[in-house]
Amino acid sequence: MSFLSISNAVKTFGANTVVKGFDLAVEKGEFVSFLGPSGCGKTTVLRMIAGFERPTSGNITIDRQDVTNTAPNKRRIGMVFQAYALFPNMTVAGNIAFGLKIAGMTRAEQDARVAEMLGLIGLTHLADRYPYQMSGGQQQRVALARALAPKPQVLLLDEPLSALDAKIRVSLREEIREIQRQLGITTVFVTHDQEEAMSISDRIVVMNGGRADQIGTPSEIYNHPRTRFVAGFVGTLNVLRAQADPADRRRVAVAGTVVQLQQPVSSADVSGALSLALRPEALSLTPSPARDVAFAGRVKSVQFMGSVIRIQMMLGDEALSFDMFNSPDLVPPQVGQSATAHMASRDMFEISA
């Protein structure tokens, strides 16, 4: 049995059902992210795991114990919130010791554990500072140390990086992941940032309207999105209208080009219309034997982004976006110029609603 399991959880506030039959099994030591737009129920599921909300129906077990009706302080859970959750009138050491004092540790035990946690987050030199004397990133590391100090069996993080600026966010997420690996602690991390979820998770739960639309590793989610919502929410996606040949369902017309697919299409409506999706990295201005499809069009925009250049092309009235790697001697295409984008037909996939 999984270490943390949520079975058919439903949460209703008044007339509003915000979590609708949510199932998840997390293995011991796994790092799982909840990814989804604002209001999809991420925090509500996290709060049910922590015990701050009771599910309207369904069950939660941790280490084979049913904790559905267990008080939060009896679940051995550590939690980190978005920001500003440290006790402002306590030093760093005082904040980290807080849960240890409540657990009845002796002063000597507390001091040893606080020192250990300060070492883990690399802030030993700031033990006597107060929260207002530290940067947001340092405060969040202290919040992590405070959550981990009592040796919880599950760590829950609710958008812990969202109040920080971009550079700190990237370095701190790697630090959190490293500490999580070191301790082997089962972790659920909430974010609405798809890049963040992709870069640090063992598995991602893509949530939509109170449900888990898809649960999988970052590469499963990205390469094999099961719904249109997942495909569009995770990464950039080009979606093109296509028309299937009624006599041969492997043949489709896309923006005036006939494409021979590997599989017969399955989502075409009665008129043969369907949507085909392709990731930007499948497209290139350079032909190659593997790229058996060529889309001729016109360059609509060229955006310089540093290491990559994002090109938008129009194929008639359909837009296609893709990136080129930058290099010092690269001459990017000009806006208005004709261009041909090449790709492999196997990189196109059908998406349905």
Ligand X SMILES: Nc1ncnc2c1ncn2[C@@H]1O[C@H](COP(=O)(O)OP(=O)(O)OP(=O)(O)O)[C@@H](O)[C@H]1O
40 binds, among ligand X, Mg ion, none (CB under 5 to 8 A by kind): ligand X
Are the C-beta atoms of 70 and 53 separated by less than 8 Å? no
Q: Does 42 bind ligand X (CB under 6 A)?
A: yes
Q: Looking at beta carbons only, is 43 or 321 nearer to Mg ion?
A: 43
**Using the rule CB under 6 A, is 18 a contact of ligand X?**
yes
Spatial separation of the C-alpha atoms in residues 25 and 202, rounded to whole Å: 13
Of residues 43 and 138, the one with the C-beta less far from ligand X:
43
297 interface partner picked from Mg ion, ligand X, none, CB below 5 to 8 A per type = none
> From residue 194, how far is each of 48, 163, 198, 206 by CA, in Å?
23, 16, 6, 9
Residue nearest to Mg ion (CB): 43
How much is the CA Rg of the chain, to the nearest whole Å? Answer: 25
The entry of Mg ion, ligand X, none that residue 180 binds, CB within 5 to 8 Å by partner kind: none
Judged by CB under 6 A, the chain residues 182 through 221 that form the site for ligand X are 192
Among ligand X, Mg ion, none, partner that 38 touches (CB below 5 to 8 angstroms by kind): ligand X
Q: Does 13 bind ligand X (CB under 6 A)?
A: yes
Neighbours of 330 (CB within 10 A): 9
Strand-pair partners of 123:
none
Residue 306, Cβ density class (10 Å: 0-12 exposed, 13-18 middle, ≥19 buried): exposed
Q: Judged by CB under 5 A, which of 43, 180, 194, 321 binds Mg ion?
A: 43
Q: Are 158 and 34 in contact (CB under 8 A)?
A: no
Q: Which two tokens stand for residue 57?
A: 């129906």
Looking at the DSSP assignment, which residues form a beta bridge with residue 65? 62
Contact partner at residue 41 from ligand X, Mg ion, none, CB < 5 to 8 Å by partner kind: ligand X
Q: How far apart are CA 191 and CA 43, in angstroms?
A: 10
Smallest gap from residue 159 Cβ to Mg ion (A): 6
The residue range among 33-41, 71-79, 269-277, 283-291 that interacts with ligand X, by the rule CB under 6 A, is: 33-41
Residues 248, 251, 252, 257: what is their CA dihedral angle, to the nearest 10 degrees? -140
DSSP 117: H
Please identify, among the stretches 10-18, 21-29, 54-62, 221-229, the one whose residues bind ligand X according to the rule CB under 6 A: 10-18
157 binds ligand X (CB under 6 A): no
User: Residue 78 binds what, of ligand X, Mg ion, none (CB under 5 to 8 Å, by partner type)?
Assistant: none
Binding site for ligand X (CB under 6 A): 13, 16, 18, 36, 38-44, 192
Binding site for Mg ion (CB under 5 A): 43
